[in-house]
């Protein structure tokens, strides 16, 4: 190529670059003008619009405990088609209680797509949902371990952790998420049997499983507890449930200090109203379910998929200086 041709091609590249810069500047100016006039700029090319999630009123529906996500209307979004991983949890081993549906399912999907092998615990009646989660984990190229059983039993909780460690080849992340919630309007109607069920599921199991996990975890591991907005803004009809969630916050903060020297981080997530089977199995009254989430500034309940990235962040190594914290995700309601 002679010098004249080189000059011409070089000039073309220069002009192209200048033209691209002018185009970009024009777009930025247009966006700035739109903002100045109170109009939001167009989303960047390739960016999807925000999801248009369902708002109340919801249809009346009821399922027997523990319920199935696949039978809810509308069906919850756990990130099945939307979550995209970026390798933030490559090679990690995670155990998630209540991982068949709701927030636990969203965390399981996200963890697998971020490169982690995942074990989930659930009740035997939730097997259809659990099988769906296992298929999604495997589709992400990761190992799925299904561990059904009742976490109200101490022996099962110890076995749960032991089995997860054995079948996964270790344990780096524990998400203590399974919970029991049942609305009762008056303390006079709150039975000892229900109170005991709630305490065993939400507190005893949380303690038993975390205790077994700490004994197996190495430095760099993380424990994440699913607390609730109920710890800070309790509803009168959730007397037993709200107590357990407040206790979980204290548990998180105390345990974080205990195990910091071991290199284990402990944090909690405090969701607001989230559309999960917990709500259609007695967590809300039929009337409350119809308007579920309407009292938040966003005027709707959250979807499990909207919490997945929080669980990823708290488990990832780049949160290495975060422990003893409570991360609120409640659509603008009273959280820490």
Tell me what pLDDT residue 250 has: 98
Residue with tokens 């996990």, as numbered in its chain: 213
Residues with Cβ within 8 Å of residue 243, at least 6 apart in sequence: 234
Backbone torsion region of residue 102, taken as left when φ is above 0, otherwise alpha when ψ lies between -120 and 50, otherwise beta: left
Tell me what pLDDT residue 336 has: 74
Residues with Cβ within 8 Å of residue 264, at least 6 apart in sequence: 214, 217, 219, 221, 222, 223
Give the pair of three-digit tokens for residue 149: 């059983």
Are 265 and 52 in contact by the 8 Å Cβ rule? The answer is no
Residue ranges of the domains in the chain? 1-39, 69-329
Fold of domain 69-329: Rossmann fold (3.40.50)
Give the pair of three-digit tokens for residue 286: 């039929």
Are 225 and 198 in contact by the 8 Å Cβ rule? The answer is no
**Cα 250 from chain centroid (whole Å):** 20
Q: Is 122 a catalytic residue?
A: no
CA angle 125, 141, 74 (to 5 degrees): 45
In the chain, the largest separation of any two C-alpha atoms, in whole Å, equals 96
Tell me what pLDDT residue 31 has: 40
Q: How far apart are CA 255 and CA 242, in angstroms?
A: 20
Residues with Cβ within 8 Å of residue 209, at least 6 apart in sequence: 95, 97, 151, 157, 160, 161, 174, 176
Are 96 and 177 in contact by the 8 Å Cβ rule? The answer is yes
Q: Residue 194: what are its φ and ψ, rounded to 5°?
A: -70, -40
* Residue pLDDT tens, the chain, 336 long: 444 444 334 434 433 443 344 343 334 333 433 333 444 555 566 677 778 999 999 999 999 999 999 999 999 999 999 999 999 999 999 999 999 999 999 999 999 999 999 999 999 999 999 999 999 999 999 999 999 999 999 999 999 999 999 999 999 999 999 999 999 999 999 999 999 999 999 999 999 999 999 999 999 999 999 999 999 999 999 999 999 999 999 999 999 999 999 999 999 999 999 999 999 999 998 889 999 999 999 999 999 999 999 999 999 999 999 999 999 999 997 677
* Active-site position among 241, 311, 321, 327: 241
Residues with Cβ within 8 Å of residue 265, at least 6 apart in sequence: 221, 222, 223, 256, 314, 319, 320, 322, 323
Give the pair of three-digit tokens for residue 236: 């009168």
Q: Which residue stretches of 269-307 are H helix?
A: 277-278, 286-290
What does the CA dihedral 268, 151, 221, 255 come to, rounded to 10 degrees?
50
Q: Which of 94, 112, 104 is nearest to 69 (CA)?
A: 104
Axis crossing angle, helix 205-214 with helix 154-168, rounded to the nearest 10 = 40
Taking CA atoms, 87 is separated from 114, 155, 166, in Å, by 5, 35, 24
């Amino acid at each position: 190529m002679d010098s004249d041709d080189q000059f011409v091609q070089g000039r073309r590249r220069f002009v192209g670059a200048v033209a691209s810069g002018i185009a970009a500047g024009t777009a930025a100016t247009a966006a700035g003008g739109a903002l100045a006039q109170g109009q939001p700029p167009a989303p960047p090319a390739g960016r999807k619009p925000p999801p248009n999630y369902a708002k109340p009123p919801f249809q009346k529906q009821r399922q027997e405990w523990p319920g199935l996500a696949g039978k809810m209307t509308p069906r919850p979004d756990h990130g099945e088609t939307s979550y995209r991983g970026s390798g933030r949890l490559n090679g990690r081993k995670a155990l998630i209680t209540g991982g068949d549906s709701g927030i636990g399912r969203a965390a399981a999907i996200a963890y697998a797509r971020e490169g982690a092998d995942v074990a989930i615990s659930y009740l035997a009646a939730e097997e259809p949902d659990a099988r769906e989660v296992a298929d999604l984990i495997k589709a992400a190229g990761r190992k799925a371990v299904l561990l059904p059983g009742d976490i109200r039993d101490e022996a099962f909780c110890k076995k749960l952790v032991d089995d997860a460690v054995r079948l996964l080849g270790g344990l780096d992340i524990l998400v203590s998420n399974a919970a029991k919630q049942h609305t009762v309007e008056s303390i006079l109607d709150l039975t000892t049997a229900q109170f005991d069920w709630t305490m065993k599921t939400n507190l005893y199991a949380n303690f038993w499983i975390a205790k077994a996990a700490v004994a197996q975890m190495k430095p760099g591991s993380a424990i994440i507890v699913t607390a609730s907005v109920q710890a800070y803004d309790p509803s009168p009809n959730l007397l037993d449930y709200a107590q357990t969630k407040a206790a979980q916050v204290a548990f998180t903060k105390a345990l974080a200090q205990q195990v910091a020297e071991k290199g284990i981080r402990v944090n909690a997530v405090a969701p607001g109203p989230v559309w999960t089977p917990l709500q259609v199995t007695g967590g809300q009254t039929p009337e409350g379910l119809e308007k579920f989430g309407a009292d938040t500034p966003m005027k709707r309940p959250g979807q499990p998929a909207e919490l997945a990235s929080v669980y990823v962040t708290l488990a990832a190594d780049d949160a290495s200086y975060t422990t003893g914290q409570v991360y609120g995700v409640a659509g603008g309601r009273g959280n820490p």
